[in-house]
Every structure is written in structure tokens, then in C-alpha cells.
Chains A and B, each alone.
Chain A
Amino acid sequence: MAFVNLKKKEVQVKVVYYGPGRGGKTTNLEYIYKRFNKRIKTEMVTIKTHGDRTLFFDFLPFDIGKIKGYDVKIQLYTVPGQVKYDSTRRLVLRGVDAIVFVADSMKVRREKNILALKNLQKNLLSYKKSIFKIPLVLQYNKRDLADQGIPVLPFEILEKDLNSQLKAPSFEASAMSGENVVQTMKQIISMTMRSLQRDLK
């Protein structure tokens, strides 16, 4: 739930990167942090295991400037993707305003993507939020792996598996190289702001 501070004329918005384990959620945030490090005044916060897997979440605050006279602070979070961390994943979703679903394009991860999306729907429902109503962008990550001969699902199959009902904007991306990472973020921010703007006076 975004917070509007009418005194300071500031809006804080929570965007969560969700998806299966090892799908590239943290890599998305790391790329954004690297790319915009002049505008991001603080360190990126990560809580991870010794094996470098996200244990709780990553956090990156990002000032995007003024909209209708309000300073807008976007708070980017990731969740831990591993199945066993469902309770911590649910905690991170508390008060979420928008979702980027990072799917893994590798053929062997097809099932995992579908399960993670269902898990997202279930966890949003626990906060009485509908996956069909919340601003949502799909990112099909790891497209670059095809060049290395690793079997990758075609765009159409990913769309059919994940987006046939949601009909959300979707991007083919590579979080490693940065391809479409910023576009994904811009898309989710603009969708979130559109839903917010109606209420900002």
C-alpha cells in the first residue's frame, strides 16, 4: 500500500520482483543499482545465505523525481524464490503496490515458472489482492542463453503458459547483460503511477 505524505509531498511505492528461484530477480536489482548508482544514494540491502541465494529479500530505494509536485520514492524488493521460503516470501509482499514477475526462459524451468506464478496469486490473495488487478509486468529472463546453445522456451510458449489470462505487458530480457531490465522497471513504474495519479491532488 503506497504511502502519501501530504506534509512532505512525498509518495513511497513498493514494487516486488517475484518468480522462481535462480530466475534473476536479484540480478535485475543489481543491474539497476549499477546502472543508476549516481542517483541511488544508499547501498543495496541484501539478506542472503552463504551460498549466495536470497534468504529474505533485497532492497533498493530509488528516487524517480517529481510527479504532480510529489517526490516519488520507488522501493524495489525481491523475494526469495526457493519453494521452502514461502513464509518469508509472503512477508515481503505485505503492502505491495506492483509486481514484476521474473520468469526463467530455460526449457527445464517451465514447470517452476507456472508454480511460482500460482504461488504469487495465492500469496496476494492472503492480503486480499488480486493478481488480475495489481499492476503487473512479466519479464522472460535469460533470453541470451539461446546463443550459448541452451534450450530456451519460445516467447509464444511463455506467453501461453503465463500470460494467456493475465494479458500483462511482457518483456524478453537478460538481467545479466541488462537487456530490457530498465524497460521492465520503467513499465512497472508507469503502470503504478497511473493507478496512483488519479488520487494525487
Chain B
Amino acid sequence: MEYSLGQEELDVIEEVLQEDLLDLGVNCVFLIDMAGNVIANLDNGQMEHDIYSLAALAAGNFGAVSEMAKIIGEDEFSLLFHKGEKESIHFSKVMADFLLVTIFGKETSLGFLRLKVAEAVGKIKKALEP
């Protein structure tokens, strides 16, 4: 009924999140599963977000949006992104069961972020695949 990830896999994932996203200038990045569990989370040291609540809401939100996609005949929506005045949030699915959530400020462009997220997702997939 449960699954686990070890030191080695989590080290790889955290390294990817650090090098591909945090070093790029994003404020906070976390990998969750669709149940809302937090797999890994990193931030720039200035964030005080409640990651566990964010994870529960992000998983629920992603599930709701996927259901909407199905109803209108889409497999899924390719861009999931909420823009705020200071902070924005971007979601990217990682395989069937995981979600990568990135919070970033005005100084990061969405296009560049999407590119880097796609790269990171590819690397995380490799780490998670059995």
C-alpha cells in the first residue's frame, strides 16, 4: 500500500531541481505525487510557503483540471500556469503519478522556465523509472 524512494534517487532528484530550476532563479520548486504527498522540495531560502497545504491543493487542482480536459475531449492541457502579481506558479506532469510545481517571480520568463522544466522532467523520469 505504500512506496518508497531512497537516498540515491532523492539525491538525484534534488540535484536536478537545484541545478535546472533553483539556479535559474526560481523561488521554490517541489515534486509531489497525485495523492498530494511531498517527494522533494527546495527553495531559495527566502520562501516560507506551507508546502504540505500547497501540495494537497496542487494535486487536487491538477486532478480537477484533468477531469475538465476529459469532458471537453482533450487528453490533457499542455500548459498549466497561474500568473500572479509577484509570484506565479507552473505545473508539469511527470509520468502518470507525479507533478512538478514551480513558483517563480517576475524576473523569470515563462518560456525559458518551460524549457528548463521540460529538461528537468526528463531527468527526473530517468531517476524515478524502475
Contact = CB atoms under 8 A, between A and B. Distances in A.
B37 A12 contact: yes
A124 B86 CA distance: 40
Interface centre among B6, B7, B10, B63 (most CB of A within 10 A): B63
B5 A6 contact: yes
Given A12-B37, A14-B35, A91-B60, A5 B53 contact: no
B11 interface: yes
Contacts of B33: 1, 3, 95
Interface residues of A, number: 33
Contact of A97 (B2, B5, B59): B2
A56 B52 CA distance: 17
A66 interface: no
B34 A59 contact: no
A195 interface: yes
Contacts of B34: 94-95
Nearest to B34: A94
Nearest to A41: B50
A59 B11 CA distance: 29
B67 interface: yes
Interface centre among A57, A73, A95 (most CB of B within 10 A): A95
Contacts of A4: 2-5
Interface in A75-133: 75, 77, 87-88, 91-92, 94-97
Chain B interface residue bracket vs A: 20 to 34
B1 A73 contact: no
Contacts, number: 96
B39 interface: yes
A75 B56 contact: yes
A7 interface: yes
Interface string B97-108: 000000000000
B7 A7 contact: yes
B38 to A, nearest CB: 7
A1 B53 contact: no
Contacts of A43: 50, 53
A94 B97 CA distance: 10
Contact of B64 (A6, A11, A42, A91): A91
State the 5 A-B residue pairs at the shortest beta-carbon distance, nearest first.
A95-B35, A4-B4, A2-B2, A3-B37, A91-B63
5 contacts: A1-B1, A3-B4, A7-B6, A45-B53, A92-B60
Interface of B: 1-7, 10-11, 33-39, 50, 52-53, 56-57, 59-60, 63-64, 67
